[in-house]
Structure 1
Amino acid sequence: MLVIMTENQVFPPQQVCQTCLMADQSGQPRWYQGKLRCGRALSKLAEDLPDQYECQMGFRIANIDG
């Protein structure tokens, strides 16, 4: 599951990405085969942290497996 993170909050992508020009036709991040196509991967700080990305708009996105 993808989430958008700020310093003190977590949002579902639907709240942020629907107005983004880089989002897909359904207003979701361009997620394909485990990679964010509308952003770049960030270096992992620790093994136990989820994969994190920075989107073109500057938001941090994490892939949290449930």
Structure 2
Amino acid sequence: MLVILTDNQILTPHLVCQGCLLADHSGQPRWHHGQLRCGQAIRQKSENQPQQYECQMGFRLANLK
């Protein structure tokens, strides 16, 4: 499950990505085969941390399994 992390909130991508020009036809991030296509991976600080990405709009997304 992808979530968007802000300084003090965790949001669902549907709330943010729906207005993004890079989102897919349903207003979700372009997630394909375990990779975010509309952003790039951020290096993990530890193995216990979920994989994080930064989208083209500057938001930070985390893949919570």
Q: Indicate whether the TM-score tops 0.5.
A: yes
TM-score by length of 2: 0.99
Question: Unmatched 5+ residue regions in structure 1?
Answer: none
Q: In the aligned structure 2, how far is the partner of 1:57 from the partner of 1:25?
A: 17
Q: In the aligned structure 1, how far is the partner of 2:30 from the partner of 2:11?
A: 16
Q: Which runs of 4+ in 1 moved over 2 A?
A: none
| Number of equivalenced pairs | 65
Query: Superposed, which structure 2 residues align to 1:1-12 within 5 Å?
Result: 1-12=1-12
Work out whether 1:22 is the aligned partner of 2:25.
no
How much does 1:7 deviate? 1.1
Q: Percent identity?
A: 62
Question: Unmatched 5+ residue regions in structure 2?
Answer: none
TM-score by length of 1: 0.97
- Paired position in structure 2 for 1:59: 59
Cα RMSD of the aligned pairs, angstroms, is: 0.3
